[in-house]
Amino acid sequence: MTAPRPRWLTLVRGTAPLVVSLPHTGTTIPADIARRLGSRRLALKDTDWYVERLYTAAVLLGATVLRTGISRTAIDANRDPSGTSLYPGRATTELCPTTTFDGEPLYKPGREPAAADIAARRGRYFDPYHAALAAEIARLRAEHERVVVYDCHSIRSVIPRLFDGELPHFNIGTDGGRSCDPRLTAAVEDVVAAPGLTRVTNGRFRGGYITRHHGRPADGVHAVQMELAMRGYLREPVGPVDKTNWPPAYHDVFAAPMRETLRRVLEACLAFAHSPRTVR
Q: Answer whether 280's CB lies under 8 Å from 29's CB.
A: no
pTM, full prediction:
0.96
Domains of the chain: 9-274 (3.40.630.40)
CA–CA separation, 280 and 277 (whole Å) = 9
Give me the pLDDT at residue 279, please.
40
CA–CA separation, 64 and 212 (whole Å) = 19
CA–CA separation, 229 and 118 (whole Å) = 29
In percent, the amount of the chain with pLDDT more than 70 equals 98
pLDDT digits (tens, 9 = 90+) for 17-53: 999 999 999 999 999 999 999 999 999 999 999 999 9
The residue type of 177 is: G
Q: Is 221 helix (H, G, I), strand (E, B) or coil?
A: strand
How many residues are there in the chain? 280
Which of 22, 126, 36 is CA-nearest to residue 67? 22
Q: Answer whether 217's CB lies under 8 Å from 179's CB.
A: yes
